[in-house]
Amino acid sequence: MSAGATDDPVVAGMVRRVLEGYRSCGPLAFAYGQGSTFTGFETRADLDIVLVWPEHSFAPERRPARSLCDPDVEPVQYDGSGYGMDNLVIDGRDVQVINFARPGFDHWCRLVEGGEGWHEDVWPCPLHVVAGFVYGLMLEDASGEGEAIRARLSAPPVALQASSRRTVAAALPQYRKDLTSAAERGESWLFHTLATRLLKQAYVTWFAAEGYYLPFPKHLDRWIQRFGLDRELAEREPRIWRLPSLPLRRDAVLEFVERVVALGR
């Protein structure tokens, strides 16, 4: 583990156990921690550890999930294209170990560098992968490749800033019509579905315009504070969710998004 990765000896011990256990599969390219504990927002949250393998992830039966879990706890394992995920319980604490294949990880990074990787609702979302990596803690990086990639990705590329603002600006007129219609008809579910889609685009644009990647939305308000984002937008954003009627909420959403587009110019 990198020096100073965590001052909590319990967390440090769990990280060592996980890394030692998974080394039975072979050498890692690098490993990092993301999520509430590793970013310092919580002290007793789940541990989210990401292992990046040089060529491919390993089948569930190869991964040491069962041997790391507490007695009588059955790990929950998932596998997708280029990744595997193991939900463990170690000494009573939930630990999620995500296994990425390096080719897939590199592909997600290239997508974000090209201004893509955030439009679709997929898991893993490339933008959130990059944000988790850049704002997380390096846990193992013997070759230095991980830190080299992180240095290259330290700030959002111009392509992401431009594509996100362009997308929001182009979509805004239609969203204005559709949100107004839904609000006038009192169609709450449709209204909030539309508003959520638009605001997701606006959050990507806002963070990128100010030099940051949009992280996974948990603790969004605390990320806004940590990065010191635009004060007016920071004050407007939480009001959207507290307004008592759809017309008022429509106005707040549209005013917020218009301000984001202006910020990104």
136 and 163 part of one domain: no
Question: Does residue 1 form part of some domain?
Answer: no
DSSP code of residue 43: S
Asked whether the predicted pLDDT for residue 265 surpasses 80, the reply is no
pLDDT tens digits for range 221-242: 999 999 999 999 999 999 999 9
Cβ partners under 8 Å of residue 30, min gap 6: 52, 138, 140, 141, 142, 143, 145, 146
Distance CA 105, CA 16 (A): 23
Write out the two tokens for 118: 């955030």
Tell me the per-residue pLDDT of 152-169, one tens digit each, with 9 for 90 and over. 999 999 999 999 999 999
Q: When comparing pLDDT for 22 and 8, which is higher?
A: 22
pLDDT for residue 5: 44
CATH code of 88's domain: 3.30.460.10
Over residues 164-185, mean pLDDT: 97
Largest CA distance in the chain: 60
Residues 106 and 209 in one domain: no
**Number of domains comprising the chain:** 2
Q: Is the pLDDT of residue 150 over 80?
A: yes
Summarised one tens digit per residue, pLDDT across range 42-90 is 988 899 999 999 988 888 999 999 999 999 999 999 998 879 999 999 9
Q: Which domain holds residue 144?
A: 9-152
Closest to 26 measured CA to CA, from 53, 2, 48: 53
Same domain? 121 vs 163: no
In this structure, are 256 and 132 located in the same domain? no
The torsion of the CA quartet 84, 97, 78, 90, rounded to 10 degrees, works out to: 150
Considering the domain architecture, whether residues 117 and 234 belong to the same structural domain is answered as no
Residues 134 and 162 in one domain: no
Given this model, what pLDDT does residue 4 score? 40
Task: Please tell me the predicted confidence (pLDDT) of residue 2.
Answer: 42
* Same structural domain, 227 and 115: no
pLDDT at residue 146 tops 60: yes
Nearest CA among 52, 39, 8, 6 for reference residue 216: 39
Choose among 110, 138, 156: nearest CA to 50.
138
- Per-residue pLDDT tens for 90-145? 999 999 999 999 999 999 999 999 999 999 888 899 999 999 999 999 999 999 99
pLDDT averaged over every residue in the chain: 94
Q: What pLDDT, on a 0 to 100 scale, did the predictor assign at position 253?
A: 98
